[in-house]
């Protein structure tokens, strides 16, 4: 604990009432006002100077609510030592003054009632100083602890706000707003021109939104970790997405699938597959008048699920990929990294005029598949 000028000023002023009480006692004993004041200052100044040592000692012997009996025994010994040092200091001061006044060595000892009072006062002064020192120390520690708690709460609040922002960004990346607007525009057109097709499209759209906005799993027959989704459920979601994209792109969108039956019970993070397909359509099919082809393949071994999404677009250089990686791909990579501790991978292969290949490799935990899954594309 650092003590500045203000502390020492208060420390000095706090001794004035004690000095005044001493002066009053000396006046009552018959001393003149001047003599009583001087004697009182001799007593109090020596006590105050020795008190600085008490404060230092208490600082070295920090307070704890779990101190053993030795803690108080040490302070009892220190209090007795303080009292005797104070008596000795006062006696030495009066000895020097008497020697100067009489011009020869005159030793002065406190005796009888004065000695008893001085020793008792010394013990009380020590107890008072030690108590004040520890109260000051505890109050400083409590303020510091309160500051740390507030700082931790502030950090927690900032982390929670950051998590909320991340979750909102992730939700936005799950379903691109442009896709939603395009789908709604297509639905409005279908409602006017082809009600039957519009009803089917609305069914796909509602199924898609229900899956995206579900609080956990989508109520399937088997429960899985809240961080995981069945490939079967992800594939149904992708089929709904592709059905809506076909309404907009028509014959320009060609989809080829090679989904092995064994992947039906595979696990992967929710909404991992759709962003890869959306990315392929956005960059390789939609910009070209003739459209393009998106190929989706999935296989599984005893240890891992492998999913590939490729297209026949114009491709890109490695630098272009790094500069333009979308939020969806970054979130997928981050999810794989944190959830699987580096054992899962998202690998992108591309070169100019050779299209893109996005490959997911995800470690597996096995469980029973649902009964109503179908692996054929719609």
Q: What is the pLDDT of residues 196-250, one digit of tens each?
A: 888 888 988 888 888 877 765 333 333 344 567 889 999 999 999 999 899 888 8
> Domain ends where: 105, 135, 159?
159
Alpha carbon distance 78, 55 (integer Å) = 12
Alpha carbon distance 329, 275 (integer Å) = 7
With H, G, I as helix, E, B as strand and everything else as coil, classify residue 131: helix
With H, G, I as helix, E, B as strand and everything else as coil, classify residue 93: helix
110 with 209, same domain: the answer is no
Question: Comparing C-alpha atoms, which of 302, 319, 309, 234 is closest to residue 278?
Answer: 309
pLDDT at residue 362, as a whole number: 93
pLDDT at residue 371, as a whole number: 45
85 with 186, same domain: the answer is no
Cβ–Cβ under 8 Å, residues 256 and 285: no
52 with 193, same domain: the answer is no
Quote the strand ranges of 99-167, DSSP E: none
70 with 139, same domain: the answer is yes
247 with 329, same domain: the answer is yes
Alpha carbons within 13 angstroms on the beta-carbon side of residue 55 total 17
154 with 212, same domain: the answer is no
Number of domains making up the chain: 2
Residue 19, C-beta contacts closer than 8 angstroms, at least 6 positions apart: 40, 41, 43, 44
Residues of the chain with pLDDT under 70: 1-3, 64-68, 160-178, 215-227, 318-328, 365-378
pTM of the entire predicted model: 0.51
Alpha carbon distance 344, 357 (integer Å) = 17
373 belongs to a structural domain: no
> Domain ends where: 159, 190, 217?
159
198 with 142, same domain: the answer is no
pLDDT at residue 287, as a whole number: 87
164 belongs to a structural domain: no
- Tell me how far apart the terminal alpha carbons of the chain are, to the nearest angstrom: 74
Task: Give the range of the structural domain holding residue 78, as residue numbers without chain letter.
Answer: 5-159
As a whole number of Å, the CA-based R_g of the chain is 42
110 with 202, same domain: the answer is no
pLDDT at residue 255, as a whole number: 94
Whole-number Cα distances in Å, 176 to 113, 173, 183, 282: 93, 6, 11, 10
């Amino acid at each position: 604990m650092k003590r500045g000028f203000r502390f020492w000023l208060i420390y000095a002023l706090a001794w004035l009432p004690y000095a005044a009480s001493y002066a009053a006692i000396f006046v009552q004993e018959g001393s003149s006002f001047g003599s009583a004041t001087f004697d009182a200052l001799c007593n109090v100044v020596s006590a105050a100077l020795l008190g600085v040592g008490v404060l230092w000692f208490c600082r070295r012997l920090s307070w704890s609510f779990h101190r053993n009996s030795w803690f108080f025994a040490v302070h009892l010994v220190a209090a007795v030592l303080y009292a005797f040092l104070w008596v000795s200091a006062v006696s030495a001061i009066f000895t020097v003054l008497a020697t100067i006044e009489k011009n020869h060595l005159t030793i002065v000892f406190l005796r009888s009632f004065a000695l008893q009072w001085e020793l008792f006062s010394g013990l009380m002064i020590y107890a008072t100083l030690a108590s004040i020192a520890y109260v000051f120390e505890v109050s400083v520690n409590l303020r510091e602890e309160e500051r740390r708690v507030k700082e931790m709460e502030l950090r927690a609040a900032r982390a929670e706000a950051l998590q909320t922002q991340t979750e909102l960004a992730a939700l936005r990346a799950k379903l691109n707003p442009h896709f939603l607007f395009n789908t709604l525009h297509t639905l409005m057109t279908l409602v006017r021109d082809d009600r039957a097709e519009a009803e089917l499209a609305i069914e796909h759209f509602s199924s898609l939104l229900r899956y995206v906005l579900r609080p956990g799993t989508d109520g399937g027959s088997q429960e899985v970790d809240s961080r995981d989704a069945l490939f079967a459920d992800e594939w149904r979601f992708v089929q709904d997405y592709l059905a809506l994209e076909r309404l907009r792109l028509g014959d320009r969108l060609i989809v080829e699938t090679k989904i092995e039956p064994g992947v039906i019970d595979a696990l992967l993070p929710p909404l991992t597959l759709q962003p890869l397909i959306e990315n392929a359509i956005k960059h390789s099919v939609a910009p070209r008048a003739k459209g393009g082809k998106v190929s989706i393949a999935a296989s599984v071994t005893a240890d891992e699920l492998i999913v590939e999404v490729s297209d026949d677009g114009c491709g890109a250089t490695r630098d272009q990929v790094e500069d333009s990686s979308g939020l969806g791909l970054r979130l997928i990579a981050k999810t794989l990294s944190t959830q699987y501790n580096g054992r899962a991978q998202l690998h992108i292969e591309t070169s100019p005029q050779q299209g893109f290949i996005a490959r997911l490799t995800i470690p597996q935990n096995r469980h029973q598949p649902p009964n109503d899954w179908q692996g054929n594309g719609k």
